[in-house]
Amino acid sequence: MARMRITADRLVVRPSWWERAATRRWQVVVPLSAVRRVVVEPDWWRVLRGSRARGLQIPGAVCTGELRHQAGRDFVSVRPGRPVVCAELWPGAPFLLLAVSVRDLREAEEAAAALRRAAPRLDTSTPCRQPLPVPEEPEAPPAPDAP
Whether 58 maps to a domain, the answer reads yes
Burial tier of 95 (Cβ tally within 10 Å: 0-12, 13-18, 19+): buried
Mean predicted lDDT score pLDDT of the chain: 86
Total domains in the chain come to 1
DSSP, res 144: P
Whether 138 maps to a domain, the answer reads no
CA dist., res. 96 & res. 104, Å (int):
24
> CA angle, corner 118, sides to 70 and 27, nearest 5?
55
* 31 band by pLDDT with thresholds 50, 70 and 90: very high
- Domain of residue 63 covers 3-118
Q: Which helix (H) or strand (E) holds 73?
A: strand 72-78
Whether 108 maps to a domain, the answer reads yes
Whether 147 maps to a domain, the answer reads no
Whether 128 maps to a domain, the answer reads no
Whether 32 maps to a domain, the answer reads yes
Global pTM reads 0.84
Kindly report, residue by residue over 110-144, the tens digit of the pLDDT: 999 999 999 998 888 877 777 776 667 667 666 67
Whether 145 maps to a domain, the answer reads no
